[in-house]
Amino acid sequence: GQSLEQPSEVTAVEGAIVQINCTYQTSGFYGLSWYQQHDGGAPTFLSYNALDGLEETGRFSSFLSRSDSYGYLLLQELQMKDSASYFCAVYNQGGKLIFGQGTELSVKP
């Protein structure tokens, strides 16, 4: 079967750092992706990791360990506008994107 586990919700304050973890179990694995979705909006692509290690894009970084079937999204210098749902998603065999349940991040002043 296929499953992705991530926390359902996380709360942090402005300016802080937050890490959202994701563990996965899938049939075939090509890479791990992260998407952000604001209320009522389209999910938007944040990052993609095909190889082990850390990928940095501005305030956001994403990490992958294929041997541990684990990854995380790191958000630094949190801003109020970062309040949203964050989904990890696995590209499985055939290159299809399978999503986790999403983590609702609330950033407080």
Partner 1 sequence: ETGVTQTPRHLVMGMTNKKSLKCEQHLGHNAMYWYKQSAKKPLELMFVYSLEERVENNSVPSRFSPECPNSSHLFLHLHTLQPEDSALYLCASSQSRPSNNYGYTFGSGTRLTVV
By the criterion CB under 8 A, which residues form the site for partner 1? 4, 30-31, 33, 35, 40-45, 47-50, 55, 87, 89, 91, 94-102
Q: Which is nearer to partner 1, 15 or 27 (CB)?
A: 27
CA distance linking residue 12 with residue 21, whole number of Å: 15
Beta bridge partners of 86: 36, 103
Q: Which is nearer to partner 1, 94 or 109 (CB)?
A: 94
Smallest distance from partner 1 to CB 11, Å: 18
Q: 81 — phi, psi (to 5°)?
A: -70, -10
Smallest distance from partner 1 to CB 61, Å: 13
Smallest distance from partner 1 to CB 45, Å: 4
Pair of tokens at residue 95: 């290159």
Categorise residue 75: left if φ over 0, alpha if ψ from -120 to 50, beta otherwise.
beta
